[in-house]
Structure 1
Amino acid sequence: MITDTIHGHMKDIQSTKIKSLISKATIIEPTDTLSHVINKITKNNSYDVFYIKDKKILSTNIRALLDAKNINTMKVESFLYPIPHVTQNDSVQKVANIITHYRIREVPVVDKNKIIGVVTAQRIIKLLSSIDNKWIKASLIYTQNPITVPSDETISNARRIMTTKRIDHLPVLNQDKIKQVITSYHILQSIIPSEKQGRKSMGSNTTHALEFKIGNIGSTRIPQCSANDDLNKIINSMLKADTTCCLVNLQGTLQGIITFRDILGLLASKLETPIPLYIVGMPDDQQNVNLISSKFSKTLKRLQQVYTEIHEARVSIKQQRSGNKKEGKYEVTIMIITPHHTPLIYNSVGFDLSEVLEDLSEKLLRNLSKRAKHRSKNSIRKIGLPIF
């Protein structure tokens, strides 16, 4: 089973201590205006920003700031939300879990109630490039059929897609060809008026800028690959171009996209269950880890009784956060791998993780039991026995 092989291959990377991977963090104050925060992001070439309050880390990022109405007068405080942190002795896998679970790119490192830096997705990607991954192909990790936008679409609509779908990359179509990729960073930059426009006109010019067409906005230096290209080649091309994505093409047609988050999915946690279960975006609290393990252990055990051909299951868990709130919707997707069919994918969304897992388990049991029953009837037909 390929996932089990990858998991064994990545063990040394997963257990690596993060002490040598720490970079400078972008620190802000809740009273900072959004324009001040955006300037810091631009200057430091960062994606996430942080503030520590009463041993709690608050954060926001570029995608969250796209919802801002007036970046000159609004304070960043209303965009901040709690986020987990790590210590210097924590592992790469813990950082990867937080990045994929919360859909961020930087995880703060705290020592003695002080943020001493961050571990970025890019640093982990660089670490992955140090081992031989030539047998891991793009086809194993890329996101199929990515959302695209035409070049004559407005920046406002691109922003809406990014904020609602919680993505940072949109390939841009021009005469049925992908010419560039527009990112959340490009959109954020496009709504900042030039110095000549003056600060008083900030609000109106931001609204006006969003109605412009995408046109040539975006990056044309996005690396491209085929589904058969290996992981080392993909990572090296992304690092060389200093981009956070790679496009997967087949004879000039867009097949998919690979982002840092897709690559970090290779560092999935493994739970001991009747059927091998891998978690991408493992929650940081043990209570939810126990809940996931218990729920899916029982579900997979029941499934195995009626559908013995299941090789493994992969679960992706992401949590939406907005504003200064702890609660947020959980997006949970499970992929069932079988030897003779395309992967079976089921998903569910909700505020209560327990209810989401219950809903997902019911979908799995109901649909796979139907498949097993149908297969059983077909087998009975072949040997001429009656079907009741």
Structure 2
Amino acid sequence: MSARRALTLSVLTGILAAAATAPQPARAASAQVAALQVALRAVGLSPGPVDGITGPRTQAATRRFQARHHLAADGIAGPRTRRALGRRGRPSLGSRPLRSGHRGWDVAALQFLLHSRGYGPGGFDGGFGPNTSAAVVRFQRAAGLATDGVAGQATLAALRTRRLAASTPSSGAPSGPVRFLRPVPGGIGDGFGFVGGRRHTGIDLPVGFGTPIGAGGVGTVGYAGWNSGGYGNLVVIRHRLGFESWYAHLSRIAVSVGQPVAGGTVIGWVGSTGRSTGPHLHFEVRRFGTPIDPVPYLLSAVSARAAAAGPGGAPDRGAERADDRRTGGARPLVCPPNADARPTRDTDPPFARIDRCPG
């Protein structure tokens, strides 16, 4: 073997050994990555949106921080990088029960976990204040845990693993000041929460192409048009007390922005536009912008006018398909690819907004 070849093999062996022992970046949609992004923001760097995904912007911000502190600029938040972040880089999630007044890496990770389950505290700042406490209580109540507002091991385990039992139709009268008629007849397919390894921000109602969709209640149309983030033809209705109802993947839209609607007003027809694998209605309920489980707010009654219209009330199916990208009179919102959604055809983007792009 030549000396040059032996030297090359030696170098390659060293590189592989170093790679095997080096700290590895967290997987996509990781609460640890989200905590890193929060910490980088706090020190004046810009990792992009807090989405829990190790992308180019997060890696670049990490390298800039490492270079600033004379660390190996590898873009990986290993122990030395965490120590350099100070209180923002510690302690690790699960090392203590989290309660009001706590600050740090673990609080930021908790806030991301709550947000990813639809119980967001309204932002990510690494501080356990009243909004985070209220979000913990809401999740604990939904998960059937003691509602003490303390994120201990049981709460963290439920946040990490539990799929909340919310995918069956509501048969009784829901409690609370806001209730929604069912926008289409039939049962519920995919429910709210983590479904098949992805975050689902609403419920799917599997009904036929062209089925009329009724508004869930009294409100005003806040958005009616094409959403390039994955929802396709989208209608958003604003209701009282900070509630919104979202209706996605429509074949055609029958309302316009600013139009008042009542329960049962036909707002469009079921389709498969946007990131969808087949005809269905994706229905969301949001409060102050945060997706929440719609099922506890659903009445057993179907929107009367939509149900009465029946399949015969739908437009011609061929015409709908030819007009799949109709904007409903609103200017289309054109966004770059959503980094917060996994690249599969049926993933609903968790951070889409009705009037601005994600981030």
Shorter-chain TM-score: what band?
A: under 0.3
Give the number of the structure whose residues are more often strand, by fraction: 1
Give the TM-score of the pair, scaled to structure 1. Answer: 0.21
Give the TM-score of the pair, scaled to structure 2. Answer: 0.22
